[in-house]
Structure 1
Amino acid sequence: MTRVRVTAPRRVDQSRAAAGSGTAGGSALPGGRPPADAREAAEESDAGQVFVRSLIRSQLRLAVVVAAGFLLILAAFPLMLGIVPGLADSTLAGLPFDWVLLGAGIYPVIGLSAWLFIRTAARNEARYRDLLGDK
Structure 2
Amino acid sequence: MVQSLIRSQLRLGLVVTAGFMASLLVCWALVRWVPLFTDWRILGVPAPWLLLGVGAYPIIGICAWLYVRAATKNEDQYRDLVEEK
In the alignment of these two chains, the number of paired residues is 84
- Which residue is equivalent to 1:115? 65
CA RMSD of aligned residues (A): 1.2
CA shift, 1:76, in A, is 1.1
Q: Could you say which structure has the greater relative contact order, defined with CA pairs below 8 angstroms and 6 or more residues apart? A: 2
TM-score by length of 2: 0.92
TM-score by length of 1: 0.59
Structure number, greater radius of gyration? 1
- Which residue is equivalent to 1:95? 45
CA shift, 1:93, in A, is 1.2
- Which residue is equivalent to 2:27? 77
CA shift, 1:90, in A, is 1.5
Unaligned ranges ≥5, structure 2: none
- Which residue is equivalent to 2:3? 53
CA shift, 1:82, in A, is 2.0
Runs of 4+ off more than 6 Å: none
- Percent identity, aligned pairs only, is 49
CA shift, 1:103, in A, is 1.8
Larger helix fraction of residues:
2
1:67 maps to 2:17:
yes
1:133 maps to 2:57:
no
